[in-house]
Structure 1
Amino acid sequence: MLKLEHLVKDYYTGDEIVHAIRDLSVTFRDNEFVSILGPSGCGKTTLLNIIGGLDNYNSGNLIINGRSTRDYTDKDWDTYRNHRIGFVFQSYNLIMHQTVLQNVALSMALTDVPKEEREKRAAAALEKVGLKDQLNKKPTQMSGGQMQRVAIARALVNDPEILLADEPTGALDSHTSVQIMDLLKEIAQDRLVIMVTHNPELAQSYSTRIIRLKDGEIVSDSDPAADEEEVQNARGSLKKPSMKFRTALSLSFNNLLTKKGRTLLTAFAGSIGIIGIGLIMSLSNGMQGYIDRVEQDTMTSYPISIEDNTMDMSVLMSAMMTGSDEEKQPYDGTVRSRAFADKLLGSIADTEKNNLTAFRKYLQSPEGKELKETASAIEYNYGITMHVYNEHAQGDKLVTVSPNGLMEELGMSDMISLRNQFMGGMSSSMPGSEVWKALPAEDSLRDQEYELLDGRWPESEEEVMLEVDENGEISDFTLYSLGLMNQSELVQNYRDLQAQKTDEIEPGDPVSFASDELLGMEFTLVPNSDLYRKVGDIWVNESGDEEFVADAVKEDGRTLKIAGIMKPKETSLGTPHTMGGVWYDRSLETWLRDEGKNSDIVKEQMEHKDINVFTGRKFGDSTELSAADLTPEQQMVLASMSQQELMDYMASYNDAANATYDSNLAKLGIYDEDTPTSIELYADTFEDKEKIGDLITVYNEQQQAEGNDANVISYNDTVGAMMSGVSDIINIISYVLMAFVGISLVVSSIMIGIITYISVLERVKEIGILRAMGASKRDVSNVFNAETFIIGLLSGLLGVGLTVLLNIPISLVIQKVTGVAGIARMPVAGGVILVLVELVLTMVAGLIPAQMAARKDPVQALRSE
């Protein structure tokens, strides 16, 4: 039962008050067809809107099934409209971008009725009004009468207690009007139908009760309801309507489809900022990837190297670059000295000894696990000098490949030795370096640095690799050193140049080798211990005796064969420069050590740890050799020597006088795996390299805390210090550019907010329709939030997609100019973040228009066109 008591409704228009409803009281039965007649402006529609919960009254009371509505909240009114009221309007008020079925089912979506049930009930309602075959049509494809039937089906689908019809036949012809009125009369048989009309004939023909209004008051009532007729018809607790976000998405998506062109242009405009940031991010990511590759290549070429004796290179560089620390004075006619030599010599003398035995033990322990895992590879070197010869060298001479005999022949060995003392490992790529080198112990590091061109990788210690450059070339210096070109000719030319017999050395004709000629080429390794001969009580180094060495090569040498040809891998910095050489597998060092342990000289040295086998004296006795010290047997041997041999013998003896037990074993090829001479720590990135440095610092602090100052590690990382800031510079530039481009992103988001506001203005009537069906203010807000969500998502995806496409030509142009490929690459995570950022900014920009839509007066919204 619906009851109005002393209802008053006033409107304020400027300074004037319009009294729309004046102290109106009326009671409606649960089942009747009531027509409300009266002239325009008498308050008919206002009364209908108040009954329907679209408009509020100023005073009085509206009682629904015995409950006053004075304390109704917005949610209560929404629930009331959704469950108890059905509206039929003169202008139909259908949502034009929805199908007929969707229009009718929409009110059920507000109460989360399952989709299948919604469609079933909506189809049944449409069938009831005679539109069974029109379900998928749009309202624009239907006649006025058909659209009004759709409106009636929509009003009935939730089985409301009250049907409110505002001029339902006002826009219809007479024939259609009769059909609609017949339908309303049938509906009124089991519910209350209240119709506002200007047509008294229709009211007389179909209504069971006629109420006439004038100036907001009832002037007549053909069949007033008595108080005793009041019936309580409560349905119990009703579910409060709440639109699912997917329903809001569906509404907004269908609306956007009606404006495809504008939607795409809006999305494109919104994507411009994303494209700008995306391109910067792509270039930054590509540059970072390039830097990472450079880092990895650099780290591979320049690992952290910890020597058993380390010179502080920073002091040396400071001496060379900064000069004196004294206060500078301008020239005043006096020429003053600047400290350089003292600093230079001081830096050389100020070497620190590293306890690599303790450090290696730390790396193998659980405490050093993090440092070991941070390093991509760890190489242990033992300072082993191999004696390798080429019996089949060009010319008639036995060529000493290792140690490099060419430098000895040219008289440059002393100069190279001195330079190595100053430059350390930095001289490894300069002429005079050994051409016989060790491959990385770890295959992963080998495969990272080198590429196999022909043959295979070593499968045993007697197989070695020949290194060439990217063009398959080897420097002639290396070929001479390996005996593949006539070494004697080069030496003679050099001597002629020194003797001024010629002004220059004419380069020889280029030589070439088929891979078959090189694969299988043999070298001979002689164990270090086999190059010594015992004379009396001492052992004499015979490596300078060509005849002795030749015999050792034939009798004691091990044949080594070239198994494959390799080249350095091309890196982001280009293919590394190489002079070529022969590389052996580390297992050969183990073989050399095991062979040496079985020799007489090593056994003798190990049995007498306090006696130097090369002098016959105790270690530490540095007294030079004199004739009185020689035994008769030694004197006989020396007597048979030539003068040069005797001088060599004496020099060898005196050099050995300052030796130690460990240095003697190292000279004989014997090493302890727990005592390396250097440790190389490889890292893939500068971050890892810095972390390794930090972990070494942690190790040093731990050793100092435990009182083991002798175990503190000192090392130099000049290359890392020079290149560590590159990534930071790229990141700073990228962030600054992104900040500038981000302005366009904000501007585009504001523009989307404006477009959303325009959409609100275009969909005002839709707002009124949704409110009439029971949609809350929040539901209306969500409809427009859903629209900005779709546009924001489309803008983000469009921006990222266009960025990916633009990266293709940008990368090609950069590759053509710089030779660096794939420099513009959008990171997947970055693309996702950009889409989310665009989505959030768009949603924020659309909040104000959405709130404006939610605050729209539903009555005013329904009147808009």
Structure 2
Amino acid sequence: MLELNGIRKTYVTGTTSVEALKGIDLKFRDSEFVSILGQSGCGKTTLLNIIGGLDKYTSGDLKINGRSTKDFKDRDWDAYRNNSIGFVFQSYNLIPHQTVLSNVELALTLSGVSKAERRQRATEALEKVGLKEQIHKKPNQMSGGQMQRVAIARALVNDPDILLADEPTGALDTQTSIQIMDLLKEISKDRLIIMVTHNPELATQYSTRIIRLLDGTITDDSNPYNGEDDNIATKTDEDSLTDKKSGKTKKKKTSMSFFTALSLSLNNLMTKKTRTILTAFAGSIGIIGIALILSISNGIQNYIDRVQRDTLSSYPIQLQKESVDVSSMIENMMGNKDKNVDHDKDKIYSNNIMTDMVNSMVAEVNSNNLKAFKSYLENHKSDVDGYISDIQYSYDVPLYIYSTDTSDGVTQLNPSSVMENMYGMSVSGDGMMSAGMQNTSVWSRLFDNRQMLDEQYDLIAGSWADNYNEVMLVVDENNEIDDYTLYSLGFKDPAEVKKIFKNVMAGNSYETEETQYTYDEVLDKKFKLVLPTDLYRYNDTFGIWEDASHDDEYMTTVVNNAEEVKIAGIIRKNPDAASVSVSSGVAYTKDLMPHIIEKVNETQIVKQQLADPEKDVFTGMSFDNDKTSISTLENNKSLLGIASEDNPSEIDIYAKDFDSKEKLQDFIKNYNDEVTADGRDEDTINYTDYVGILMSSVSTIITAISSVLIAFVAISLVVSSIMIGIITYISVLERTKEIGVLRSIGASKKDVSRVFNAETLIEGFVSGAMGIIITLILCIPANAVIKNVTDISNVAQLPVAGAVILVIISMLLTTIAGLIPAKMAAKKDPVVALRTE
């Protein structure tokens, strides 16, 4: 039973108060058809809204099944409207972007009814009002009478105790009005119907009770009810509402699932496709700006990183057993000293650098204990792995390579015999000329970092070298190899160089033949690896070892029995690589030198020399006998290639980038601090950082560029957020009536807020996805322009992770930007919202 005791409602506008209801006392039967009549403004709709829980009374009490509603909270009113009340409005108030079936199902979604049951119950309700065949239509595809039937089906689907009808026939023609009234009359047989109308004829014809209002008071009640015949127990505030027909406890709390909110919002957006797309595009402008900046920033950073890696692959941190610190001298010559001076600029002053330069030039040679540092480096490998692209250990071991063809005698290819043929002197001799010739070797160590190799080179034939006896031939970007390298590798006859030299010296021209080789011919090329110890044989007569490198018969046997080294593949410099670790010639793997060291240490001459380190194996004399020997043990070790893997003669550390190089320098400094603290000053490491001197400003430039890009990104984010907030607010204004409808069927403030949060989330996703797609399209012409201007390829590159993050950021920003408009929507007065057109 529904009971109103002394209900008053006062509206306050500014300083003016209007009393709409002035003490209404009414009781209603469980099943009756009540019509409320009165002039416009007499309080009929206000009374209906108070009974329906859409509006709150100022004083008095509204009792539901004997329970007072004075202490009802918002969730109690929401549950009451959802479970006990069904609204039928004059203007139907159907949600236009939902189908007929979805409109009817909506109240059930708030009750937590399963999808299958929702569909069944909604279909049954539509069948009762004669619209079973219309369930998939949209409201705008139906007549006024059909839409009112949908509204009635929606009101009945949750099986409410009370049906409230506000001018249900006000927008209908006479014939349709009669059909609707007949339907309401039938419904009133098992529930309470309260109808507000201006039509006294319809009220008289169909109602079982007519109540007349005038200026907020009841002037007449045709069939009053005092409730004396009913035995109703008063319930406590903690009790749930109970269905009197079924006896089941009705759900007290309603809740709309987020998927329902998504569906409502998605359907709303789809009904306005053009505007949704334009709105998404407007919201995506900021994302496009950010994505383009990120693309170019990412591409530039990748290019810078690649340049750094490529550049640093040619300029490692180089640690040698013996070194001279020339950093100070170079800085003095370049004028990189501190310029903090204190004098006027009205004269010319001298900048005295000679003393510092001379001090640097005559500084003593520093000895580095690379054995100790290598051990420290390997023990702390995890500390530097992230900063290193490769580490190369060099040893004082000569690399002797010979031609496999000994039919016309042996041909030494490395150390190169090209210069020997030119000048007619051995490259193994002493002096500056010999040293210069040996530095022209075309054999180099290959990087052990496959990722870097793949970035710097293209493999054009064969496969990558994996074993100690496999090497790579390096060609330039035009697939060319200079003829010096061809002579040095035996592809062309080194003896031809002597002819070139003689003709040039005589003033005659000499044209060399241009040669070309198939990939198969190159890959078939093999070399002979001769150990440095193989150049010496034992003299039984004198009990010493003698140099036999000029004995053709001996060397032919040595070369024929030597191990073979083959070209496994051909690599070409990648056009996008700024620099490469090996520009031309042959590159061998890191395993070659350890193999040579192991084999050398197994030879008889080495074992004999190490067994008696005081005696020279070449003279049979003691090293300290100045009259008979000018050799030293170290000279002999160098000559024979005696070395140990744990004691390199040089360590080249290749940093990934300039920041990593600084970390590696800090690592070396920490090492020096530790050995100094241990009293081992002799083990400190000295080195020269050439690339650091030449490129010290690069990091500053990169930082400046990054800061500018970040500033642009920040501006774009702010603009995008403001745009999305405005768009969401407009959507709230447009869907105000929908808010009223949702509240009338029991949606809570949180549910309403969730609907608009879902809409902003969808808008954010569409904006983000659209922004990413447009950015990817714009990257194509952007790359073409940048390539044309700078000759740098593929600068604009949007990373996949960045794209995903931007979409997530877009969704997050739209949700945040929509929080205030969504909260405004939730706070809207449902009565006011329903009146919005």
TM-score by length of 1: 0.83
Q: Is the 8 A contact 2:144 2:172 kept in 1?
A: yes
Give the Å deviation of 1:798.
0.7
Point out the more displaced range, 138-147 or 806-815: 806-815
Q: What is residue 638 of structure 1 aligned with on the other side?
A: none
In structure 1, C-alpha distance between the alignment counterparts of 2:52 and 2:644, rounded to whole Å: 98
> 1:584-619 CA distances to partner (integer Å, 9 max, x unpaired)?
667665676577567665454334322234555543
The offset of 1:180, in angstroms, is 1.7
Q: In the alignment, which residue of structure 1 is the partner of 2:237?
A: none
After TM superposition, give the deviation of residue 285 of structure 1 in Å: 1.0
Shift of 1:130: 1.5
1:609 corresponds to 2:616: no
**Equivalent residues in 2 for 1:752-767 (5 A)?**
752-767=724-739
Flag the 1:36–1:301 CA change in 2: closer, same or farther, 3 A: same
Q: Indicate the residue corresponding to 1:351 in structure 2.
A: 365
- Native 8 Å contact 2:325 2:688 kept in 1: yes
Question: 3-state SS of the aligned residue for 1:301?
Answer: coil
* Cα 1:289–1:597 shift into 2, 3 Å: closer
Q: Counterpart in 1 of 2:102?
A: 102
Q: Does the CA-based 8 Å contact 2:100-2:136 persist in structure 1?
A: yes
Q: Cα deviations across residues 435-467 of structure 1 (Å, max 9, x unaligned)? A: 253544859489657666667777987776665
How many residues were matched structurally? Answer: 816
* Larger CA deviation: 843-852 vs 244-253: 843-852
Alpha-carbon distance between aligned partners in 1 of 2:110 and 2:118, rounded to the nearest angstrom: 11
Q: 1:39–1:685: structure 2 CA closer, same or farther, 3 Å change rule?
A: same
CA distance in 1, matches of 2:15, 2:336: 91
Instruction: Quote the residue 2:327 is aligned against.
Output: 314
Please state whether the residue corresponding to 2:682 is helix, strand or coil.
helix
Report the Cα offset of residue 283 of structure 1: 0.9
**Structure 2 contact 535–547 (Cα < 8 Å) conserved:** no
Rounded Cα–Cα distance in structure 2 between residues aligned with 1:333 and 1:197: 104
Match of 2:245 in 1: none
In the alignment, structure 1 residue 73 sits paired with structure 2 residue 77 = no
> What is the match of residue 827 of structure 2?
855
SS at match of 2:133: coil
- Work out the CA distance in 2 between the residues paired with 1:719 and 1:615: 45
- Note the alpha carbon deviations across 1:283-337, whole angstroms, 9 max, x for none: 1111222233333333433333322222223133134333999989999999999
Q: Which residue of structure 1 aligns with residue 641 of structure 2?
A: 669
Contact kept, 8 Å, 1:323 with 1:340, in 2: the verdict is: no
Equivalent position amino acid for 1:81 in 2: R
Report the equivalent of 2:5: 5
From the CA coordinates, give the structure whose radius of gyration is larger. 1
Contact 2:320 2:651 in 1 (8 A): yes
CA spacing shift, 1:338–1:477, aligned 2, 3 Å: farther
Partners in 1 of 2:469 and 2:736 — Cα distance? Answer: 89
Q: State the one-letter code of the partner of 1:316.
A: M
- Distance in 2 between the 1:468 and 1:553 partners? 31
Q: In 2, Cα distance between the equivalents of 1:416 and 1:574?
A: 37
- Structure-2-length-normalised TM-score: 0.85
Instruction: Tell me how far apart the structure 2 counterparts of residues 555 and 587 of structure 1 sit (CA, whole Å).
Output: 26
TM-fit CA distance, 1:67: 2.0
Partner of 2:123: 123
Is the 8 Å Cα contact of residues 399 and 482 (structure 1) preserved in structure 2?
Answer: no
Assess if the C-alpha contact under 8 Å between 1:375 and 1:682 holds in 2: yes
- 1: distance between equivalents of 2:72 and 2:309? 71
Q: Aligned equivalents of 1:598 and 1:218: distance in 2? A: 120
SS of equivalent to 2:19 = strand
What does residue 265 of structure 1 align with? 278
1:553 to 549, 552, 555: 555
Partner of 2:443: 437
Find the counterpart in structure 1 of residue 265 from structure 2.
Answer: 252
Check whether the contact 1:466–1:581 (CA below 8 A) recurs between aligned residues: yes
The residue that corresponds to 2:236 in the other structure is: none
From 679, 684, 688, give the equivalent of 1:712. Answer: 684
Give CA deviations for 1:656-705 in whole Å, capped at 9, x if unaligned: 2xx2x233123123222332212333444445544444444444344334
| Residue 720 of structure 1, CA deviation | 5.2
What is the CA-CA distance between 1:800 and the residue it aligns to? Answer: 1.0
What letter matches 2:556 in structure 1? K
By how many angstroms is 1:478 displaced? 4.2
- Whole-angstrom CA distance in 2 between matches of 1:121 and 1:445: 64
Alignment of 1:3-402 (within 5 A): 3-12=3-12, 15-232=15-232, 234-235=241-242, 236=249, 238-322=251-335, 340=354, 343=357, 346-347=360-361, 349-365=363-379, 367-371=380-384, 375-387=388-400, 401-402=413-414
Moved more, 783-792 or 609-618: 609-618
**Change in CA separation of 1:752 and 1:447 when aligned onto 2, cut-off 3 Å:** closer
1:200-232 Cα offsets, whole Å, 9 max, x none, are 222222222222222222122222212423443
- CA change 1:595–1:505 in 2 (3 A) is farther
How far 1:145 moved relative to its partner? Answer: 1.6
Offset, 1:363 = 4.5
Local SS of the residue matching 1:133: helix
Residue 831 of structure 1 corresponds to which residue in structure 2? Answer: 803
Q: In the aligned structure 2, how far is the partner of 1:460 from the partner of 1:91?
A: 85
Aligned-pair distance for 1:734?
A: 4.2
State the distance in 2 between where 1:70 and 1:691 align. Answer: 71
Deviation at 1:434, TM superposition (A): 3.5
2:219 and 2:501 map into 1 onto residues whose CA distance is: 133
Q: Give the counterpart letter for 2:770 in structure 1.
A: L
Distance in 1 of aligned mates of 2:491 and 2:198? 117
Checking the alignment, whether the CA contact within 8 Å between 2:503 and 2:510 is kept in structure 1 is no
Deviations 1:824-846 (A, max 9, x none): 11112211222222223323333
- Cα distance 1:34–1:401, how it changes in 2: closer, same or farther (>3 A)? closer
Question: Is contact 1:311-1:348 (8 Å) kept?
Answer: no
Amino acid at match of 1:245: F
Distance 2:68 2:452 in 1: 88
AA aligned to 1:262 is R
Same amino acid, percent of matched pairs: 48
Pair 455,416 (structure 1): closer, same or farther in 2 beyond 3 Å: farther
**Aligned counterpart in structure 1 of residue 764 of structure 2, from 792, 802, 806:** 792
Aligned to 2:751: 779
Q: 1:14-40: CA deviations, max 9, x gaps? A: 654433222221211222221222223
SS in 2 for 1:733: helix
How far apart, CA to CA, are the structure 1 residues paired with 2:791 and 2:557? 55
Distance of aligned partners of 1:415 and 1:846 in 2 relative to their CA distance in 1, 3 Å threshold? farther
- Equivalent residue in structure 1 for 2:566, among 557, 563, 566: 563
Contact 1:538 1:614 in 2 (8 A): no
Contact 1:464 1:561 in 2 (8 A): no
Partners of 2:253 and 2:362 lie apart in 1 by: 88
- What CA distance in whole angstroms lies between the structure 2 residues aligned with 1:474 and 1:332? 58
1:671 and 1:404, CA in 2 relative to 1: closer, same or farther beyond 3 A? same
SS at match of 1:228: coil
CA distance in 2, matches of 1:401, 1:370: 41
Supply the distance in 1 between the matched residues of 2:529 and 2:40 (Cα, whole angstroms).
120
Distance (whole Å) between structure 2 residues aligned to residue 210 and residue 454 of structure 1 = 99
1:389 deviates by: 5.6
Q: CA shift at 1:796, angstroms?
A: 1.1
Q: Distance in 2 between matches of 1:334 and 1:759?
A: 73
Task: Tell me which of 802, 816, 833 is aligned to 1:844.
Answer: 816
- Asked if the contact 1:815–1:821 (Cα under 8 Å) also holds between the matched residues in 2, the reply is yes
1:261 match: secondary structure: helix
Could you say what secondary structure the match of 2:616 adopts? coil
Mapped partners of 2:581, 2:381: distance in 1:
35
Equivalent-residue separation in structure 2 for 1:331 and 1:249 (angstroms): 73
| Unmatched runs of 5 consecutive residues or more in structure 1 | 422-429, 630-652
The range that moved more, 591-600 or 725-734, is: 591-600
Contact 1:53–1:80 (CA<8 Å) still a contact in 2?
A: yes
- CA drift of 1:343 comes to 3.3
In structure 2, the residue matched to 1:512 is: 515
Aligned to 1:643: none
577, 589, 594: which is aligned to 1:573?
Answer: 577
